[in-house]
Amino acid sequence: METLESELTCPICLELFEDPLLLPCAHSLCFSCAHRILVSHCTSNESVESISAFQCPTCRYVITLNQKGLEGLKRNVTLQNIIDRYQKASASGPNSPGETRRERPVDGTTMTAPSERVPCQFCEQDPPQEAVKTCVTCEVSYCEGCLRATHPNKKPFTGHRLAEPLPDSHLRGLTCLEHEDEKVNMYCVTDEQLICSLCKLVGRHREHQVASLSDRYEKLKQALDSNLNCLIKRNSELETLMAKLIQTCQQVEVNASQQEGKLQEECDLLMEIIQERRQIISAKIKEGKSVRLRKLAQQIGNCKQCIERSSALITQADQTVKETDHARFLQTAKNISERVSMATASSQVLIPEINLNDTFDTFALDFSREKKMLENLDYLTAPDPPGIREELCTASYDTVTVHWTSDDEFSVGFVRAPVRHLHRTSQRCQFV
């Protein structure tokens, strides 16, 4: 029945033929559709009767009209009888092909129960009753009573399509941009645009490649599904990547915290070592200070005793010098003179060599090397690549000696390595 229905469908209005005309090319066309074609060819100063020819919309054959115009073409009575019998068969029951056809949605889309209330357009009461059916052919919605009264299931309504209630916006569908009264029913592949039959017959798309809406729908739907799947896959990959990046950020936070902890530990250890060495060196300085102060205190005591003895001797000598009696003077002067001479000699021996600028020369503090090392504290970096000295490199049966130079202070000059395989060429040696 689906195939039969397509054979009974007009190529212009895409409905069952109504008053079909039999064209000379053996194709058929609705009388009203043929009249619309003639109208589309008219200019502002012409009438429909002045049009003497038009093209068949199926095969592009030029149909020549006589003085009677469309009335001069034969009616396709056989096709009309077949359509009448088909309409009767389609109205025979709810499970018939015609009933299925009636419930088919307007633009080939899947019908769903409308979420909004659709009012009956024939009810005179206010507010109108809720519609139970929409006639796609009449483009009118009916309630139960109005459907039985104004749209009975008999001629001329037997070929009309009934569907679940549809809002006006869904019912009207898409109209052609160039022909406002025509619905779009094909797709121009050249311009990638929805068009109507008149656009293909007489419009600027007449020479363009066209396709049916269903075919184009399937192709574009497959392409969109494919692109959508790729986008979903890419989006999933990006989400996975973003999750890894977030995890990496968290790991960076953890690693940075660990490195900061290690830095703090190393710096604390250096501070402990410095404090320990400071205490040791400070103790040595204090010990040197104590030794020097004890020595100086002993020297001060010796000087003090020498001064006391000298002071007493000076007093006695002064008294002797003041003696006017020659006999008494001579009796004591010699002894006093000897004692003064001895005291003078002994005090000269006791006077130490005093260094008033004692700067602890034996405690020389020079931390310039350590300061430089502390100023250069940093992460270890990879050394620069060494320069291979090919003229010094040698290879034997089971040993390869490689010489190189490097600015790294911890580098070695050469290394010998046993090899499992040695490949010799005229320019170089390669070992594994």
Query: Residues 271-286: pLDDT tens digits?
Result: 999 999 999 999 988 9
**Residue ranges of the chain whose pLDDT lies below 70:** 1-3, 91-116, 159, 168-173, 347-361, 407-432
Q: What pLDDT score does 60 carry?
A: 85
Q: What pLDDT score does 420 carry?
A: 54
| H-helix segments, 91-212 | 97-102, 144-150, 168-172, 197-201
Q: What pLDDT score does 278 carry?
A: 92
Residue 131, burial from CB neighbour count under 10 angstroms (0-12, 13-18, 19+): buried
CB of 59 closer than 8 Å to CB of 25: yes
CB of 69 closer than 8 Å to CB of 49: yes
Report the candidate in 411, 417, 415 with the shortest Cα–Cα distance to residue 403: 415
Contacts 24+ apart (CB under 8 A), 307-312: 309/343, 310/343, 310/347
Q: What pLDDT score does 95 carry?
A: 43
CA 126 to CA 138: how far, in whole Å?
23
Q: What pLDDT score does 415 carry?
A: 53
CA 14 to CA 57: how far, in whole Å?
12
CB of 105 closer than 8 Å to CB of 162: no
Read off the pTM.
Answer: 0.42
